[in-house]
Amino acid sequence: MENPGCTHAWRTLAEKPRTMLVNFTKMVVKLGKDDPRRIIHSFKFGFALVLISILKYFRPSFYAFGDNIMWAVLTVVLVLEFSVGATLGKGFNRVLATGSAGALAVALRKIASYSGDKGKLVLTSVTVFFVAGTVTFMRFSPRLKARYDYGMIIFILTFCLVSLSENSENDLLEVAQERLLTIIIGSCIAITVCICIFPVWIGQDLHNQIASNVVKLAEFLEGFRDEYFNNLENTAEAENDKPFLHRYESILSSKTSEETMAVLARWEPCHGRFRFRHPWNQYLKIGNQIRLCAYKIKALSVFLLRSDTTPYEFRSRIEEPCTNIIMESVKALKESSVILKNMAKSPMPNPHVANAKNAAESLKSVLRTNPWEGADHLEIIPVATVASLLIDLVFCVEKICEAVDELAN
Amino acid sequence: MENPGCTHAWRTLAEKPRTMLVNFTKMVVKLGKDDPRRIIHSFKFGFALVLISILKYFRPSFYAFGDNIMWAVLTVVLVLEFSVGATLGKGFNRVLATGSAGALAVALRKIASYSGDKGKLVLTSVTVFFVAGTVTFMRFSPRLKARYDYGMIIFILTFCLVSLSENSENDLLEVAQERLLTIIIGSCIAITVCICIFPVWIGQDLHNQIASNVVKLAEFLEGFRDEYFNNLENTAEAENDKPFLHRYESILSSKTSEETMAVLARWEPCHGRFRFRHPWNQYLKIGNQIRLCAYKIKALSVFLLRSDTTPYEFRSRIEEPCTNIIMESVKALKESSVILKNMAKSPMPNPHVANAKNAAESLKSVLRTNPWEGADHLEIIPVATVASLLIDLVFCVEKICEAVDELAN
């Protein structure tokens, strides 16, 4: 006879791994769908490592130095990154840091070799302590960290390895040469695989992200107009079903990622429509202006949530100038986004900005006539605030368009 | 005779390295002054490496395996981080990943050894390709990346090294054992140095940062009151000299760093007043509420810049209720910050929140009476917007205090 409680317990026990597996599969599928280049990158990674292992069979002489294969693998695993910029930056850092740290360590060992055994121990310890401590301290500098963090770690590592190695000085030079060569070959394989097989240009990504952020702002404004100036009562409840009202929120915390992308983009050679010294800093400026605009929008969105407490009648009295401001701002933003995407030169200042400014002026004159004469003052203040924030928003949009024009020229 | 142009050129040439050196020294001094723990960390780093090099002289048998010293150095350099949480996380990741990847690779080699030489080459390549590719793909998952990114890199590395190594299977087991032991010893040295010499607890840092962010909001509000409700004309010009009006801006982009800190804090054992399973997620919730408040403040600060366009007379008519709101909000925030800092239990809901809400109600009733009767409607809208944003701010402050109370209980 079956014990139903026991069966149930078994079933729950068997259920848990199944749900975990299902969740895991879902996550994997989502990761791949969100950005199919991730799948390609994984293949590239595997391929680069197989390349090294095959190289070993075809040119065993190259790996005669025993553990050298390890250095090639280490280099590929640590250097090959998702984007070309990151890979080039790390490869450059690795080769330069290995070379300079190795040379410094060999020179210091030469000096130390003139003192006796005890002197050598003391000298080695002192130099390791000071070099490692100094470089570690340097890593705290945000500017150096952004570009050379990886190089500084490798510098400490190589310096310590060469300083503490047991080999004699002559052996050491040979080992160091071989190892530097292996690291250069490993870096070359990583860079070649990264650039030649479906390269991911982080500069292009930054470019696209900034352009799509501009569109996100425009989408919110369009959605805001539709929601705020309609006569339906269900605005607040249905708000969760409207993703365009939340899509801009990713902009609020995009500062760090944009800055990282700009640093990495600087390592990339000219590709597509990007020159070598593309003005990546200008993208950061545009990004900052977009974020300032997003903060305003965040303040605006509160009034959308509470719009059902303000009678539609009051909202409708400033509907026309507000709609004009929004429409012209949206057009200006979309045009800026197109200029950005196509990297076109803008023949003249964005005409929609001027229109938006005119609309703001006409909103001001409507406000001056006191459109809510006789209404409860408290009830109209939220509407007045929306009007005031929208007027303010035109400045932000103007700044974004100016920054885009500056980049285009 | 001297050539004055040449002398000038020489002087400029000699000047450049000098200014660079001066700038560099300034940067170093600033880095140390901003956080003196950085200097201590640099000493700790040097000390840990010296420890390893000394260990080598005292217990040469341990390093008999030739390159093992390298693995100890590698482990210390890569595992020893500024904070205890990061070091423990990396040490744990390193040991676990090395162990599991090594075991998997040895097992797969055993299987591959039954096929011939060619079969072995193919099998090795295929497993390297698939394991490296799969783990690389896993690294794209934000949840796994936050906690196990380092472990996943080490997993790929160890797996490839063991798979591609030239040693025979029996040698390999011995090498693997030795190496795992070296890595464990390296991790132990790194962790011991990190915890025993002036430890930096990242949980404590997160705790302090959240508490100081609450104070930054309060400081801005106090400054806002002093600036906005005064009768001086020079508000906008002198604004640059008032750092308290800009200090809150660091909050706007603090999301990523707070999340990283919370992840690392989870690795830390109980220390000071923090238990092992301290509710770090609650800190993130408080941080989010603080950020929402900071976005509002960003919108508010625009009106401070333009306050000179609004006659003081209009501002003064709502001065009393606005000042009350601000004062009570400031008190509420400061009390929350004290509760946070002392990790005290709050005996009852924050009384200042209720006061702030009452002040908001009285501002509403002042607004209802139309305090600016007869004034130009356009001129009063900025003031009305400030009033409206302040009323809104009370909700934000309430949410922050609620989140802090929840943590305290």
Q: Is A38 left (phi over 0), alpha (psi -120 to 50) or beta?
A: alpha
Is residue A209 scored above 70 in pLDDT? yes
Q: What are phi and psi of A369, to 5 degrees?
A: -80, 5
Residue identified by tokens 């209980």 is B409
The pLDDT value recorded for residue B87 is 95
Is residue A5 scored above 70 in pLDDT? no
Q: Which of the four pLDDT bands, split at 50, 70 and 90, describes residue B197?
A: very high
Q: Which of the four pLDDT bands, split at 50, 70 and 90, describes residue B194?
A: very high
Percent of chain B with pLDDT over 70: 92
Residue B202 contacts residue B41 (beta carbons within 8 Å)? no
For chain B, how long is the longest CA-to-CA vector? 98
- Cα B401 → chain centroid: 22
Q: Is B167 left (phi over 0), alpha (psi -120 to 50) or beta?
A: beta
Q: Determine the residue of chain B that is closest to A47 in CA distance.
A: B129
The pLDDT value recorded for residue B88 is 94
Contact of A30 with chain B, judged by CB distance below 8 Å, is answered with no
ipTM of the complex: 0.87
Is residue A398 scored above 80 in pLDDT? yes
Q: What is the pLDDT of residues B264-301, one digit of tens each?
A: 999 998 888 888 778 899 999 999 999 999 998 988 88
Is residue B252 scored above 80 in pLDDT? yes
Question: Are residues B77 and A153, on separate chains, in Cβ contact within 8 Å?
Answer: yes
Q: Which residue has the higher pLDDT, A241 or A99?
A: A99
Q: Determine the residue of chain A that is closest to B395 in CA distance.
A: A302
Upper half-sphere CA count for residue A135 (Cβ side, 13 Å):
22
Q: Is B65 left (phi over 0), alpha (psi -120 to 50) or beta?
A: alpha
Count A/B contacts: CB-CB distance under 8 Å.
201
The residue type found at B365 is S
Sequence-distant (≥ 6) Cβ neighbours of residue A65 within 8 angstroms: A175, A178, A179, A182
Residue identified by tokens 């305290």 is B408
Question: Are residues B137 and A39, on separate chains, in Cβ contact within 8 Å?
Answer: yes
Q: Which residue has the higher pLDDT, A184 or B306?
A: A184
- Cα A384 → chain centroid: 37
Question: Are residues B136 and A256, on separate chains, in Cβ contact within 8 Å?
Answer: no
Residue A314 contacts residue A382 (beta carbons within 8 Å)? no
Report the residue from B161, B298, B384 with minimal CB separation from A385: B384
Tell me the two tokens of residue B217.
């909001």
Contact of A141 with chain B, judged by CB distance below 8 Å, is answered with yes
The pLDDT value recorded for residue B202 is 93
Sequence-distant (≥ 6) Cβ neighbours of residue A284 within 8 angstroms: A258, A259, A262
Question: Are residues A31 and B137, on separate chains, in Cβ contact within 8 Å?
Answer: yes
What's the whole-number mean pLDDT along residues A285-305? 89
Question: Are residues A129 and B47, on separate chains, in Cβ contact within 8 Å?
Answer: yes
Contact of A188 with chain B, judged by CB distance below 8 Å, is answered with no
Contact of B167 with chain A, judged by CB distance below 8 Å, is answered with no
Is residue A316 scored above 80 in pLDDT? yes
Percent of chain A with pLDDT over 90: 39
Q: Which residue has the higher pLDDT, B170 or B32?
A: B32
Contact of B55 with chain A, judged by CB distance below 8 Å, is answered with no
Q: Determine the residue of chain A that is closest to B144 in CA distance.
A: A27
Q: Determine the residue of chain A that is closest to B133 in CA distance.
A: A42
Q: Which residues of A touch B378 (CB under 8 A)?
A: 364, 367-368
Contact of B24 with chain A, judged by CB distance below 8 Å, is answered with no
Q: Which of the four pLDDT bands, split at 50, 70 and 90, describes residue B62?
A: low
Q: What share of chain B is helix, strand, coil (3-state, %, to 5)?
A: 80, 0, 20
Question: Are residues A364 and B384, on separate chains, in Cβ contact within 8 Å?
Answer: no
Q: Which residues of A touch B74 (CB under 8 A)?
A: 157, 161
| DSSP letters for B218-236 | HHHHHHHHHHHTS--S-HH
H helix intervals, A229-278? 235-238, 249-252, 255-265
Burial of residue B28 (CB within 10 Å: 0-12, 13-18, 19+) is middle
Q: By C-alpha distance, which of B136, B77, B354 is closest to A28?
A: B136
Is residue A66 scored above 70 in pLDDT? no
H helix intervals, B253-279? 255-265
- Cα A365 → chain centroid: 43
Which residues numbered 332-391 in B keep a CB inside 8 Å of some CB on A? 364, 367-370, 376-378, 381-382, 384-385, 387-389
Residues A211, A213, A217, A218, CA torsion sign:
positive
Residue B265 contacts residue B337 (beta carbons within 8 Å)? no
Q: What is the pLDDT of residues A105-159, one digit of tens each?
A: 989 988 888 888 888 888 888 999 999 999 999 999 988 888 899 999 999 998 9
Report the residue from A31, A35, A129 with minimal CB separation from B50: A129
Is residue B233 scored above 60 in pLDDT? no
Q: What is the pLDDT of residues B342-388, one digit of tens each?
A: 887 766 667 888 999 999 999 888 888 877 777 777 778 888 888 88
Report the residue from A47, A156, A377 with minimal CB separation from B370: A377
Enumerate the β-bridge partners of residue A271: A274
Residue A165 contacts residue A105 (beta carbons within 8 Å)? no
Is residue B395 scored above 60 in pLDDT? yes
Q: What is the mean pLDDT of chain B?
A: 85
Report the residue from A53, A256, A298 with minimal CB separation from B295: A298
CB atoms inside a 10 Å sphere around CB A238: 10
- Cα B36 → chain centroid: 17
What's the whole-number mean pLDDT along residues B21-33? 89
Indicate the pTM of the whole model.
Answer: 0.87
The pLDDT value recorded for residue A139 is 92
Spatial distance between the Cα atoms of B333 and B388, rounded to a whole number of angstroms: 20
Q: What is the mean pLDDT of chain A?
A: 85
Q: Determine the residue of chain B that is closest to A293 in CA distance.
A: B299
Is residue A1 scored above 50 in pLDDT? no
Residue identified by tokens 């121990």 is A121
Spatial distance between the Cα atoms of A330 and A324, rounded to a whole number of angstroms: 10
Spatial distance between the Cα atoms of A307 and A314, rounded to a whole number of angstroms: 11
For B80, the 3-state DSSP assignment is coil
Residue B340 contacts residue B402 (beta carbons within 8 Å)? no
Residue B99 contacts residue B180 (beta carbons within 8 Å)? yes
Sequence-distant (≥ 6) Cβ neighbours of residue A202 within 8 angstroms: A83, A84, A85, A86, A261, A264, A265, A268
Question: Are residues A161 and B130, on separate chains, in Cβ contact within 8 Å?
Answer: no
**Cα–Cα distances in angstroms (integers) from residue A295 to residues A401, B293, B296, B298, in the given order:** 17, 11, 8, 7
